[in-house]
Chains A and B, each alone.
Chain A
Amino acid sequence: MTLSRAFFTGASGLRASQIGMATVGHNIANADTEGYSRQRARVSVMDAVYLGRPGYLGQGARVDAVQRAHDAFLERQVLRDRSQLGFSASQTHTLRAAERLFSEGTQPDLGGSMGAFFDAARELSLSPSSLGHRQELLAAAGRVARAFTTLDGDVATLSAGIDADLNGRIEDINALIERVAGLNARIASDEAVADANDLRDQRDEAVRLLADQLPIQAIYGETGQVTLQIEGGFTLVQGDRARALAGVAGPAGLEVHLIGEHGPSDLTDRLHGGEVGGLLAVRQRLNDERDALDALAFSFAAEVNAVHQAGFGLDGLNGRDLFIAPAAVAGAASQMGVDPALTTAQVGAAAVGGAPHDNANAQALADLERATHAALAGRTFADQFTDQIHGLGRLMADNLSAQAQLEVRRDQSEALRESVAGVSVDEEMVDLTRFQKHFEASTRVIQTVDQMLDEVLSLVR
């Protein structure tokens, strides 16, 4: 009977608007949920039935699926931009600290105390037989040594802090990798029935968090699963299989290894993006700075000693070191110290024995300030140190401007993704009203059909 068919047609409209309404409610509820993609009910026409003479009769509407708004291209851009920003941003904090250590870490800083040492030598040259000025020179040498050990120690602490940070991050990353693989597995089983929109959202959000840390590439498969790789063909997640990272102590600090099927592979030098990559890069830089400090400490101690050995003390003897002679370049900065055996009267100010008023060697010590040294690539002590400050400052400045640019790019790609996948309350309000009217109209159809059926039935009575 056609009338009872109309009853069901009305009911199909009711059902479509209910599902539509539920989707709107879901969207509004998640308008501010991180990583949520708005959903839409896809409605199509139900197959018509052939009724003979009048032809095909429509049967109403059918909800095919609830889909999420998603653009794989924009998604990949977001991942790339977040990795790049992470690489840059994670260095800022450490670089800022390193820059401060080098330029004002100790008072006065290493450059200042080296200058003060030469000032003390020049001061001594004005009154070479003065015990007070000899004392001053020894004190200034002590401050230079302390500036070296303090700075080297502070940079080492900074570097150790990065290792601790890396260890924590590796744990977080492993948890995220597990999470992505787990969601991959659930998506595969749930999608045997229908699109698992919310699971995909959760999974994609976990992938985005991973992209902050590592330079990952996401490959979205046919089955709705995602494969995560690091450049060079290192797979983190494939289907429901998750690999794990491990922090391994190496000679230059913590190394990041990927535990693969065929044993671990060292990723330390391969991570050119993400916060982990940034931390590794900045740690490398800190190690380089420490090497440069060692070279500076070694040649400072060695050259000052060479000049001082030629000088005669008030006792008329020469051949004594001013600094403890460093054994090797490596570790020279941390072992810097004034030779404890040297007494005030033994400071070698004179170039001639038994001439207490000779200042030639004190002057020679002062002249070291402007002398260039082959071990420092033909630069002065101060040059070498200011070059380090300059290098760090330049790196920091470049990092800041790169970071500002990358932030804008990240914001733009996030905004693009958001504009496709995000929830607009206005839009939802329009839909809400639409579905409400639709619902009202569908109920009216059913009511009317109901009345008509009543009337038909009353004919029978």
Chain B
Amino acid sequence: MRLTERIRYQRPAQQIERLRNRAERANEQLVSGARVLRPSDDPGATLRIRALERRYARLEQHERGADVAEARLLRSDASLSEAHDTLGRVHELTIQGLNASLSPQDAENIALEIEGLRDHLLSLANTRVEGRALFGGDGAATPYDAALGFQGDTGALRLEVGEGLRLEASLPGGAAFGDGTPATVDLFANLNDLAAAIRGRLEGPMQDAFEVLEAGQEQLNTARGRLGIALETLGQARAVNEALRARLPSEISDLKDADFTAVVADLSLTDNALQATLATSSRLMSGATLLDFLR
């Protein structure tokens, strides 16, 4: 092939430009530390990176959801545990009340104590976390009013604590203390009945109310069991979230980050080629032509 003047000058210029572009690309990767700077760098990886980054963002929300759920569940459990003790005390008092040799004054004292315990139970049933009642469903701020009537609904707060995992972060309203329907035991009505029966020394109603009280204790225990199951599910969800929190960033990094060794190797390779090209082309350009020898 004939090598003409234009080829002699154009060729090296094109080669140098190509090598400089390659070096620039490597430099860009080193400076940013990222392999995928724009979608065209690796379209497939871009797709996966975006999906993983979204997943990671959702993970943070799931963790926040889990925090809120845990706070509510633990507070609910604490309240119910106290309610359980309260009912235990009522149970003891009722057994005392059933004793036939009780003086009227003693009976009155027991009835008064049961009424006091009933008021304590009311304050437990109206426990709130962040302005939302724990045992009253979605509506009322104070589920059990002063007249001991249930004002709430049977809604339960469901929070997302994992991908597609919706957790009941509270008991359905009225599930623990009664929702005013025959399906549940109305604990407050029961304690009122007990107090009245003991005060009046009425054997039959006393026995009836005692049975209802035991059913009420059972209801409370079932409610606590539900909380326990929810807490366990929450623990599992948290474990999954933690595993993801550890795994996702490294998966994203694998796709996104530059392989420094490879890039540096490529850069020095390009640099060598560039220097060789510069050296040879400068020789070619400044090299002797016939012109230098013709006199």
Question: Does A422 interact with chain B (Cβ within 8 Å)?
Answer: yes
Min CB gap B221→A, angstroms: 26
Contact check, B38 vs A99: say whether CB atoms are below 8 A apart. Answer: yes
Complex: how many Å from CA A122 to CA B64? Answer: 10
Question: Does A14 interact with chain B (Cβ within 8 Å)?
Answer: no
Interface flags, B26-60, vs A, CB<8A=1, else 0: 00000000000011111110110011001001100
From residue 42 to 87 of chain B, which have CB atoms closer than 8 A to chain A? Answer: 42-44, 46-47, 50-51, 54, 57-58, 61, 64-65, 68
Interface flags, B212-227, vs A, CB<8A=1, else 0: 0000000000000000
Min CB gap A308→B, angstroms: 18
Complex: how many Å from CA A358 to CA B133? Answer: 12
Q: Which residues of B contact A387 (CB under 8 A)?
A: 47
Question: Does A141 interact with chain B (Cβ within 8 Å)?
Answer: no
Contact check, A357 vs B289: say whether CB atoms are below 8 A apart. Answer: no
Question: Does B92 interact with chain A (Cβ within 8 Å)?
Answer: no
Q: Which residues of B contact A382 (CB under 8 A)?
A: 50-51, 54
Min CB gap A104→B, angstroms: 8
Size category, A interface: 35 or more
Indicate which residue in B57, B153, B159 contacts A115 across the interface (CB closer than 8 Å).
B57
Contact check, A423 vs B4: say whether CB atoms are below 8 A apart. Answer: yes
Q: Which residues of A contact B133 (CB under 8 A)?
A: 357
Contact check, B139 vs A356: say whether CB atoms are below 8 A apart. Answer: yes
Q: Which residues of A contact B46 (CB under 8 A)?
A: 103, 386, 389-390, 393
Stretch binding the partner chain, chosen from A205-213, A290-298, A394-402, A447-455: A394-402
Given contacts A125-B159, A415-B11, 17 further A-B contacts (CB under 8 A): A99-B40, A100-B38, A119-B61, A122-B61, A122-B65, A355-B155, A359-B158, A370-B164, A390-B47, A393-B46, A415-B1, A418-B6, A418-B7, A419-B7, A422-B2, A422-B4, A423-B4
Indicate which residue in B4, B61, B166 contacts A418 across the interface (CB closer than 8 Å).
B4
Complex: how many Å from CA A400 to CA B41? Answer: 10
Question: Does A300 interact with chain B (Cβ within 8 Å)?
Answer: no
Indicate which residue in B2, B11, B47, B289 contacts A429 across the interface (CB closer than 8 Å).
B289
Interface of A is mostly: helix
Complex: how many Å from CA A32 to CA B294? Answer: 22
Contact check, A389 vs B54: say whether CB atoms are below 8 A apart. Answer: no
Known interface pairs A125-B160, A352-B138, A393-B46; A358-B155 also in contact (CB < 8 Å)? yes
From residue 383 to 430 of chain A, which have CB atoms closer than 8 A to chain B? Answer: 386-387, 389-397, 400, 411, 415-416, 418-420, 422-427, 429-430
**Interchain residue pairs with CB less than 8 A apart (18):** A32-B5, A100-B38, A111-B54, A122-B61, A126-B65, A127-B132, A355-B155, A357-B132, A363-B158, A386-B50, A390-B44, A390-B47, A393-B38, A397-B40, A411-B11, A419-B2, A427-B2, A429-B289
Question: Does A323 interact with chain B (Cβ within 8 Å)?
Answer: no
Complex: how many Å from CA A433 to CA B295? Answer: 10
